[in-house]
Structure 1
């Protein structure tokens, strides 16, 4: 998978204030899905500089978890995690979420089939800046779930107590949504100022996110087409 990069420039006063108040950078990743769920923090950067370069690989895995809570601030911990390319199917047979990955899923999507008798939690993980798989959301896995990564990411500066895998349903403060489908060479640049926030104006790839704004409508894209496809795939797998 290709490397993605975000560069952030800040003035000295801003970086000093962020460091003094123990801020970090947090990122959340959008996904289109047939399932209901909640977004989670996917990326965190604790070492802040005036000129920051944040890089990650769009490398995917599918996870399952026995703990399906959607409560904000809860940390999602995968029981099983399966690295796989787009177009893969994870067939879950065990009540603990264990399964087998095979090809044959819809092109550009990831499919998770629950053939067991236990309702589980599931979703996608993507590599963070450290090359670790981190969940981008938690979703109900009842029968068949379909996921398609969306090249939009939300970024926030916020105090450090947040962590990767934490369920977040409202913005962590004033943030920015970046559309990497509009990026040249998978690279975007932004400026951030403590008083003025993210410099999103006149940048077609950037959209400001207000403090306390609900994040589900922005990051969890419930697709009627994927819901219909999931029902079709469910009928196929149940034969």
Structure 2
């Protein structure tokens, strides 16, 4: 379990404006996958301060849901949720998405196998700042799907009432995409100003996100390598 941390510094004027207009901080986690899907809000922080520290643990679970809509603003609610380490396989046999977790999946990945006859929704959850498992996306589960957490996180300040688990296919406002592969001790620091936005200049780990920018290309990496591997795994499962 690896704890990650983000420190956001802002002026008193910016903080007052955010509080007065009921803003909160929202985070979305990147994912490489063989499946088609939509990103979801994974993390939310409603208590804001000038020196805001956000910490979470990269701990994962696999979830299934009978309601696999990918319409924006829809909240994803897991029917079944299975905490598991990377390299695990969730074999789903029940029509309601129930299954069994075993080892034996590709290293560094999560595998979800649908051996039933009903198409389901599925994906990975990641611990948020409160230690709660929250979906990092919703995907169509047809046969075999592979997921690999990517150490990139998008952050936005936006007015409530967004919530964790909500599908968001476009940015919630001007945001920033942070690459934790470049983080020292899995910790990053950045400044935010309500008028000037996120301080991304001279920060190779930070990439600005425009207001209303599509999020699927940033957060969901539809990997051809994972698609090929999923097909191989499907042949193995079908034997």
TM-score (norm 1): 1.00
Alignment of 1:3-82 (within 5 A): 3-82=3-82
Alignment of 1:59-138 (within 5 A): 59-138=59-138
Residues 1:196 and 2:192 are matched in the alignment: no
Q: d(CA) in 1 for partners of 2:146 and 2:182?
A: 24
Alignment of 1:220-239 (within 5 A): 220-239=220-239
1:206 match? 206
Equivalenced residues, count = 239
Aligned-partner SS, 1:6:
strand
Aligned-partner SS, 1:82:
strand
Aligned-partner SS, 2:200:
coil
Q: d(CA) in 2 for partners of 1:184 and 1:59?
A: 19
Residues 1:139 and 2:139 are matched in the alignment: yes
Q: d(CA) in 1 for partners of 2:77 and 2:68?
A: 10
TM-score (norm 2): 1.00
Q: Which runs of 4+ in 1 moved over 3 A?
A: none
Residues 1:173 and 2:173 are matched in the alignment: yes
Uncovered stretches (5+) of structure 2, i.e. residues with no partner = none
Q: d(CA) in 1 for partners of 2:169 and 2:117?
A: 29
Give CA-to-partner distance per residue, 1:12-55, whole Å, 9 cap, x none: 10000000000000000000000000000000000000000000
Note the C-alpha offset of 1:160: 1.0
Q: d(CA) in 2 for partners of 1:83 and 1:181?
A: 24
Alignment of 1:144-159 (within 5 A): 144-159=144-159
2:218 match? 218
Aligned-partner SS, 1:77:
coil
Aligned-partner SS, 2:16:
helix
Q: d(CA) in 2 for partners of 1:201 and 1:73?
A: 31
Note the C-alpha offset of 1:2: 1.3
Aligned-partner SS, 2:212:
coil
Give CA-to-partner distance per residue, 1:140-194, whole Å, 9 cap, x none: 0000000000000000000010000000000000000000000000000010000
RMSD: 0.3
